A and B are shown apart, each in its own frame.
Chain A
Amino acid sequence: MLVEALVLSAILFVIGTAGVLIRRNAIIMFLCIELMLNAVNLSFVALSRYLGIEGQLYVFFVMTVAAAEAAVGLAIIIAIFRHYETVNVDNFNLLKW
């Protein structure tokens, strides 16, 4: 079952990556990033079954960081939306020069 879980994790990670690259809605890009995080979590959990409890600890920390990231990220999205009236990342191009 370990190998199957790792394969599932890899597939989920690729799906998340593709989602980040394909979608332009900032919120959905965020969701895809969560997807990638979950894929990694799955690897950790699967391996921790055989290698020890530390894997689960990392998952715990990843979840915390994901929560923090979601809070700040969504706040940024709200701020941007207030300014541009959209969350389409094509419109955000102030990062150049």
Chain B
Amino acid sequence: MTEPARTTTEALAATAQAGSGFDPVLPGIILLLPLLGFLLNGILALVAGSRSATALRLAALAEPDSEEERVDHQHEVGAPKRATHTLPTWIGPGVMLLAFVLTAANFLRMLGADLHDAVVISYWSWMPTGALSVDAAIQLDQLSMIMMMVITGVGFLIHVFSVGYMKDDPGYPRYFAYLNLFVFFMLVLVTGANFPVMFVGWEGVGLCSYLLIGFWFQDREKADAGKKAFIVNRIGDVGLLMAMFILFSTFGTLNYGEIFAAAPTTLVYGGGVVTAITLFLLLGAAGKSAQIPLYVWLPDAMAGPTPVSALIHAATMVTAGVYLVARASVLFALAPVGAAAVATIGALTALFAATIALKQYDIKKVLAYSTVSQLGFMFMGVGVGAYAAGVFHLMTHAFFKALLFLGAGAVIHSMHHALHATHKDWDAQDMRNMGGLRRPMKWTWIFMWIATLAIAGIWPFAGFFSKDEIIWYVGTSAPFGPLYAVLWGMAVVTALLTAFYMTRMMILTFHGPNRTGEAERKHLHEAPLTMTIPLGVLAILSIFGGWINVPESVRNSFFGGFGLLPMSEWLHDWLLPVTAAADAIRLEQMGAYAYQSPIGGGHVTWGFIATGLALAVVILASRLFLSRDVKTALEEGEPTSGIGKLLYNKWYVDEFYDRIIVQPVIGISRFSWRVVDRVLIDGTVNAVGAVSRGAGWFGSLFQTGQLNTYAFILALGALALLGVLIL
């Protein structure tokens, strides 16, 4: 497998690519490294699993401990670690580091080359059926390269963080096995050269997400959260599959290159087919990227370990939908209705999730809804045709949201240890129980403030550039002008809400008096270096990550240091080969962007307005929450009335879905079970059984047990035979 068996056409293509100077370095190895890590860690996990099962059984035999005490034993710190718990420390992050280095080498090579067409490397023929021929092929181009950089880079940092975060967990090797497997599938997703290969990765990351959300499967609630994520994602997958079916019936192939090359001529602009394709793709993307109406699984997915939330449910997997839309940019450019649907869904989700985040007290829930909201921003971006802007925000968001999640992980880690040391059964994730953590956790505090300012859109942090660019494009998009003006307004409001709830989170967590209690306070501590160093790296990226895609006008203004910034719109130019076709269609159909907000003003003006407003919101929110006397979770309880209750309960969407979808499905299932299965099917089967039994009983009447009877009947039988022979 290391030596790709290229078919003739691909070999020719590769030769052509070689002319343009890009020759990938061991691209297959990048994918195989995490898989190798998965296999090694998986073996270790099996060994550790069987041993801990034995140990548990022995312990149960030796002393009938209560369940709680046994869990305590598992948490015991300081005991010498077995090889199954020390090897993953090196294997897990190790393969990620190697993969990142290889990816970076490829990235640098691509940077040096002038690559116009994607490099497709076909390994073997996967589904060589009559009409449909699918190769197991990967595709390296600018988009997949950016995604791979984010996945392996941020992934490596999160792996390192996990070493510190998960070190006392009994499932440590299993955790790294899943995490490596996830990275493998995510790389398959972004490098697949056709829809089926991408779909393998798509389903694979869903599987790993399920496994990692339910990582602590002993807890019923967490296992259920995993199932919820899995099932909701399946709904989206139906859409993706439908889109693939239509694509195949239209184009006769599922390879990216052929479809996107043929699309402008095969499909009618704004026609029904392409609109159907894009809408189904949107359904798939909405499932994976947690957009309305399929966003409900992401907040529950916070049941998994926090680094998992950072890697899968913030930085990489949930952005797969954005990647999908950017990848299929040609199709969306051809379908203005589909694109507008993407943008509208994105805007609605962004605003909706931001409102919920205002009133959440679980630090991870705030970040979860913030993620949903930011994903909405990305959808807006790719929906209005600003694919580079969407991917740009995807990238910066990966930096600062991973940082926020990891920081939250460090906080939870510290809180957990403090509460655990004194056996206090408070919620370690509830911000009302925190407060004043900036003193024991100085570095985490600084880093998280950087991320907060970045997500709030304060200059010069990364979020300022990426978010403003999306808002900008939304306001000036066509052809549904008024709609986009409304979306623009929603985006601006969402941005301000984001600044507000993030500030609220920071103040509740790190500022004000500490509310953990006297005994617990002295157990609060800064996270170990394995956790703070990744935070630091991500913080640096959160500051500077936004500088790679600054519009020319902004670069020459105050925000770009009046032209000091060495590059402008680098990412946009970098992605141009991928988005060029879509941009061309856009330009032809509705002309260039107006470069004006719906209510006037240019880039620079709105840059000032946006950062000023965000800064004002941050300051206002800080003052508001600093002056407020925050009660702990136990003292305060749940809000009982008004809009607070509505937001606290997440607009009752889960309850609504439960009433409208889940309960009817359960009802139908129950009907199928009680009536169809039990009465009809079981009844039929039982009737057959009863008839057989009756026939047997009837036949048994002939069995008298009397030898005479048998002899007599035997003679009769012989007679009958003889009669047949003679007569």
- Residues of chain B within 8 A of A96, CB atoms compared: 700, 703-705
Task: Write the nearest CB–CB distance from A71 to chain B, whole angstroms.
Answer: 20
| Contact indicator A89/B707 (Cβ below 8 Å) | yes
- Residues of chain A within 8 A of B715, CB atoms compared: 17, 20-21
With CB as the reference atom, state the residue of chain A lying closest to B704.
A96
With CB as the reference atom, state the residue of chain B lying closest to A88.
B707
With CB as the reference atom, state the residue of chain B lying closest to A17.
B715
| Contact indicator B708/A97 (Cβ below 8 Å) | no
Which of A26, A29, A93 is B706 in contact with, Cβ under 8 Å? Answer: A93
Question: Within the assembled complex, what's the spacing in Å between the Cα atoms of A94 and B703?
Answer: 10
| Contact indicator A21/B705 (Cβ below 8 Å) | no
Question: Within the assembled complex, what's the spacing in Å between the Cα atoms of A26 and B700?
Answer: 24
Question: Within the assembled complex, what's the spacing in Å between the Cα atoms of A29 and B710?
Answer: 13
Which of A17, A21, A94 is B708 in contact with, Cβ under 8 Å? Answer: A21
| CB contact list, B694-721 vs A, under 8 A | 700, 703-708, 710-712, 715
| Contact indicator A97/B700 (Cβ below 8 Å) | yes
Which of A17, A21, A24, A93 is B704 in contact with, Cβ under 8 Å? Answer: A93
| CB contact list, A31-88 vs B, under 8 A | none
| Contact indicator B705/A95 (Cβ below 8 Å) | yes
| Contact indicator A94/B711 (Cβ below 8 Å) | no
| Contact indicator B706/A97 (Cβ below 8 Å) | no
Which of B700, B708, B710 is A24 in contact with, Cβ under 8 Å? Answer: B708
Question: Within the assembled complex, what's the spacing in Å between the Cα atoms of A24 and B707?
Answer: 9
With CB as the reference atom, state the residue of chain A lying closest to B701.
A96
| Contact indicator A92/B700 (Cβ below 8 Å) | no
Contact flags (1/0) for B672-714 with A, using CB distance below 8 Å?
0000000000000000000000000000100111111011100
- Residues of chain B within 8 A of A92, CB atoms compared: 705-707
Task: Write the nearest CB–CB distance from A17 to chain B, whole angstroms.
Answer: 6
Which of B700, B703, B706, B712 is A21 in contact with, Cβ under 8 Å? Answer: B712
With CB as the reference atom, state the residue of chain B lying closest to A23.
B708
Question: Within the assembled complex, what's the spacing in Å between the Cα atoms of A41 and B715?
Answer: 19
Task: Write the nearest CB–CB distance from B671 to chain A, whole angstroms.
Answer: 42
Question: Within the assembled complex, what's the spacing in Å between the Cα atoms of A79 and B66?
Answer: 62
Task: Write the nearest CB–CB distance from A96 to chain B, whole angstroms.
Answer: 3
Asked whether A90 is an interface residue with its Cβ less than 8 Å from the other chain, the reply is: yes
Which of B700, B703, B704, B711 is A20 in contact with, Cβ under 8 Å? Answer: B711
| CB contact list, A5-20 vs B, under 8 A | 17, 20
With CB as the reference atom, state the residue of chain A lying closest to B708.
A89
- Residues of chain A within 8 A of B705, CB atoms compared: 92-97
- Residues of chain B within 8 A of A26, CB atoms compared: 707
| Contact indicator B711/A21 (Cβ below 8 Å) | yes
Question: Within the assembled complex, what's the spacing in Å between the Cα atoms of A20 and B703?
Answer: 19
- Residues of chain A within 8 A of B703, CB atoms compared: 95-97
| Contact indicator A90/B708 (Cβ below 8 Å) | yes
- Residues of chain B within 8 A of A89, CB atoms compared: 706-708
Question: Within the assembled complex, what's the spacing in Å between the Cα atoms of A89 and B712?
Answer: 13
Task: Write the nearest CB–CB distance from B357 to chain A, whole angstroms.
Answer: 74
Question: Within the assembled complex, what's the spacing in Å between the Cα atoms of A80 and B170?
Answer: 68
- Residues of chain A within 8 A of B712, CB atoms compared: 21
Question: Within the assembled complex, what's the spacing in Å between the Cα atoms of A7 and B668?
Answer: 79
Task: Write the nearest CB–CB distance from A35 to chain B, whole angstroms.
Answer: 14
Question: Within the assembled complex, what's the spacing in Å between the Cα atoms of A90 and B705?
Answer: 9
Question: Within the assembled complex, what's the spacing in Å between the Cα atoms of A77 and B715?
Answer: 22
- Residues of chain A within 8 A of B708, CB atoms compared: 21, 24, 89-90
- Residues of chain B within 8 A of A24, CB atoms compared: 708
| Contact indicator A90/B700 (Cβ below 8 Å) | no
Question: Within the assembled complex, what's the spacing in Å between the Cα atoms of A11 and B40?
Answer: 86
**CB-CB nearest 10 A-B residue pairs:** A96-B705, A93-B705, A89-B707, A96-B703, A95-B705, A20-B711, A97-B700, A93-B706, A92-B707, A96-B704
17 contacts across the A-B interface (CB closer than 8 A): A20-B711, A20-B715, A21-B711, A21-B712, A21-B715, A24-B708, A29-B711, A92-B706, A93-B704, A93-B705, A93-B706, A94-B705, A95-B703, A95-B705, A95-B710, A96-B700, A97-B703
List 18 additional contacts besides A20-B711, A95-B703; criterion CB under 8 Å: A20-B715, A21-B708, A21-B712, A21-B715, A24-B708, A29-B707, A89-B706, A89-B708, A92-B706, A92-B707, A93-B704, A93-B706, A94-B705, A95-B705, A96-B700, A96-B703, A96-B704, A97-B700
